[in-house]
Amino acid sequence: MIPTTQVKTGNCIVVDGDPHVVLDRRHITLARKSGKIQLKLRNLRTGLSTERRFASDEKVEIATIEETRMQYLYEDGELYYFMNTENYEQIAINAELIGDNRYYLTEGLVISVSFFEGKAIGVRSPKAVVLEVVETEPALKHATAQAQLKPAVTNTGLKVNVPSFIEPGDKIKVNTETGEYLERA
């Protein structure tokens, strides 16, 4: 337990039994009273953001979040299956928790899974992944050297704008934070 005055942006704390990451912290001074600490929090289980005020002498518990490297195996309906790369233990994670990361999951990809009290609460893909283009418009006949982009669909269902020289079957590198084309792989 630490005083709320020592909580910093980026810390993970336990509020009402759920882990929260601190997005913003403000110290509010009140006339003739002790100050308050206002924290903007994001619940790591639900993804919802809230603001909460704490007395400056109040204490909060630091959340112990464990990061584990896991290899993506396959998807079965609403569940995605991963294997721990150290002990080969397999787990299933709900599609809701995977979110938009599903567009970057390819068989064998190693990602980071966050655990709180033994339960998966989040996944983080690598900064860039290699995907195969399965559908796009044909290359323009007189394409210039200027960057002209066209829509494409990858083998994971991700829709991304690619340069005009990219054709179906090409492998491309995609930024997982922005979903943008980076380069041909």
Residue 88: the pLDDT is 93
- CA torsion sign, 24 to 9 to 46 to 177? positive
Q: What is the pLDDT of residues 137-175, one digit of tens each?
A: 887 666 555 668 899 999 999 999 999 889 999 999 999
Could you tell me which of 89, 104, 84 has the C-alpha nearest to residue 160? 104
Domains of the chain by start residue, with CATH:
2-62 (2.30.30.30), 65-124 (2.40.50.140), 129-184 (2.40.50.140)
Residue 34: the pLDDT is 76
Q: How far apart are CA 53 and CA 70, in angstroms?
A: 37
As a whole number, the mean pLDDT across the chain is: 90
Tell whether pTM > 0.85: no
Q: What is the pLDDT of residues 67-77, one digit of tens each?
A: 999 999 999 98
Q: What is the pLDDT of residues 97-115, one digit of tens each?
A: 888 899 999 999 999 999 9
Q: Read out DSSP for 111-169?
A: EEEEEETTEEEEEE--SEEEEEEEEEPPPPTT--SS--EEEEEETTS-EEEEETT--TT
Q: Is it the case that residue 41 has pLDDT exceeding 90?
A: yes
Of the listed ranges 24-28, 89-93, 103-107, 138-142, the least confidently predicted one is 138-142
